Structure 1
Amino acid sequence: MLEIRNLHVNYGNVEALHGINLSVQKGEIVTILGANGAGKSTTLNAICGLVKATKGEILFNGEPLHTQRAHTIVSKGIAQSPEGRRVFSTLTVAENMMLGAFTIKDKALISKNEDWIYDLFPRLAERRDQLAGTLSGGEQQMLAIGRALMANPRILLLDEPSLGLAPILVKSIFDTVRTINSHGVTVVLVEQNARAALKLANRGYVMEVGNIVLEDKAASLLNNPDIQKAYLGGGH
């Protein structure tokens, strides 16, 4: 469904991605693990068109994305919930949600998606008229995911959804990601919480300084001693 071939990305003179290859099949949850600065967010931003590829290809169902602009990529069915949530704090929950739907012309579809998201996140429904800036961190994370889902994506890119959240909220966010996936949305998950991400995902990629150093089924990565040592705090 999504294929990245030999992708290079530069920030000025610095190369952030050194020719990575990555693929995502329809219906999967794929996680990308790695330390800060490994290139995980850059990879998601390149898929979205927020940063440009200096070399290589990004294909979505065989169609090149790396030559397209960000808003076109959203309308093709790829949406991101960014790191740091990035909600519009002076707008209400409902207004933030509507901004997510800006590429959709079908009013019935917008309404159907909105109902589904308020079902997924009842807390957002209760607070739909509240300013997003007054929400808790967990509620803002729900809103960031909800806003991305309003674009009716076939692939949802999640960048650090559990960052800064209490453990009980992390579990709830991950449960919701599983539900979203069961509704036919393919998920690419960048996550510091490696254990939770690998328990959720089908497959995982491990990045180090702009390279993919390992790719395997999520269960195999969970049991890999090197991964346990580097990302899971030792053994079981």
Structure 2
Amino acid sequence: MLLTVKDLYVNYGNVEALHGINLEVEDGEIVTILGANGAGKSTTLMTISGLVPPVKGGIFLRDLEISRLQAHEVVSHGIAQVPEGRRVFSTLTVQENLDLGAFTISDKDLTKKTLRWIFTLFPRLEERKEQLAGTLSGGEQQMLAIARGLMANPKILLLDEPSLGLAPILVKSIFETIRQINESGVTVLLVEQNARAALKLAHRGYVMEVGRIVLEDRADKLLKNPEVRKAYLGG
């Protein structure tokens, strides 16, 4: 198993945000986490990536326990997060944003190879590499946020709401790119409000409610599940 989360508890101040989460992601999978706002999806990703410390429980990358590591150490072990809301460095160029994504990589040849691959995935970023990131469209900023995550050469990419605020045609394009990224060998853990698109893309899914996982199954089965359809797919 590539990623294992065992009995994970997380607090924000005195409030318990996650109540004993268990989930697994196999090498090569796309796994999605569904749930309403406030269910704990983003908290789960931020805890895996070392941005929020757990109160108890374990997070394992293969056999390595990573739940007590700093965020930059988690990245160096092969986990990169693309945060909700893109969060590109708006006063830096596209190229400078990408360079920052590779800060844990000492192999310059690998960085060049990764950059070439990213420009085949996102040709528009190559066209705009000298442009300030803050002047890009929302869709281009989302491409840049994903590309910056990929520059770390991750084993697993954590994506938090990649379709948020994008026009439907761009959503389709972003999801197709996520499929290509996965087919190239990057495992993906995806948090996404667009449940239908996420389940069509993913191999498996988990449903979260108020800090707990209440359902897990193959994505095709979740698409047909009456409760999931009613709650997340509009009937």
Per the shorter chain, which TM-score range?
over 0.9
Match for residue 6 of structure 2?
5
User: Matched residue of 2:51: which SS?
Assistant: coil
User: Matched residue of 2:200: which SS?
Assistant: helix
- Distance, in Å, in 2 between the alignment partners of 1:81 and 1:68 is 18
Asked if 1:108 is matched to 2:109, the reply is yes
| Cα deviation code 1:102-128 (max 9, x no counterpart) | 000000000000110011001101100
Asked if 1:198 is matched to 2:199, the reply is yes
| Cα deviation code 1:37-94 (max 9, x no counterpart) | 0000000000000000100000001110101111010000000110000000000000
User: Matched residue of 1:162: which SS?
Assistant: coil
- Distance, in Å, in 2 between the alignment partners of 1:58 and 1:12 is 21
- Distance, in Å, in 2 between the alignment partners of 1:24 and 1:62 is 13
**Amino acid in structure 1 at the alignment position of 2:11:** N
**Amino acid in structure 2 at the alignment position of 1:206:** V
- Distance, in Å, in 2 between the alignment partners of 1:159 and 1:182 is 19
Structure 2 residues not aligned, in runs of 5+: none
- Tell me the TM-score normalized by structure 2: 0.99
Q: How does 1:180-191 map to 2 (within 5 A)?
A: 180-191=181-192
Structure 1 residues not aligned, in runs of 5+: none
- Distance, in Å, in 2 between the alignment partners of 1:156 and 1:52 is 19
Asked if 1:72 is matched to 2:73, the reply is yes
- Distance, in Å, in 2 between the alignment partners of 1:198 and 1:87 is 27
Match for residue 167 of structure 1?
168
- Tell me the TM-score normalized by structure 1: 0.99
Deviation at 1:194, TM superposition (A): 0.2
Match for residue 157 of structure 1?
158
Q: How does 1:87-126 map to 2 (within 5 A)?
A: 87-126=88-127
- Distance, in Å, in 1 between the alignment partners of 2:137 and 2:211 is 33
**Amino acid in structure 2 at the alignment position of 1:165:** L
Match for residue 221 of structure 1?
222
- Distance, in Å, in 2 between the alignment partners of 1:37 and 1:96 is 30
- Distance, in Å, in 2 between the alignment partners of 1:185 and 1:142 is 16
**Amino acid in structure 2 at the alignment position of 1:167:** P
- Distance, in Å, in 1 between the alignment partners of 2:101 and 2:62 is 23
User: Matched residue of 1:219: which SS?
Assistant: helix
**Amino acid in structure 2 at the alignment position of 1:71:** H
User: Matched residue of 1:117: which SS?
Assistant: helix
- Distance, in Å, in 2 between the alignment partners of 1:221 and 1:127 is 39
Asked if 1:130 is matched to 2:124, the reply is no
Show structure 1 runs of 4+ deviating over 3 A. Answer: none
Match for residue 54 of structure 2?
53
- Distance, in Å, in 1 between the alignment partners of 2:133 and 2:45 is 24
Q: Percent identity?
A: 73
Deviation at 1:201, TM superposition (A): 0.2
- Distance, in Å, in 2 between the alignment partners of 1:210 and 1:94 is 38
**Amino acid in structure 2 at the alignment position of 1:45:** M
**Amino acid in structure 2 at the alignment position of 1:203:** R
Q: How does 1:14-53 map to 2 (within 5 A)?
A: 14-53=15-54
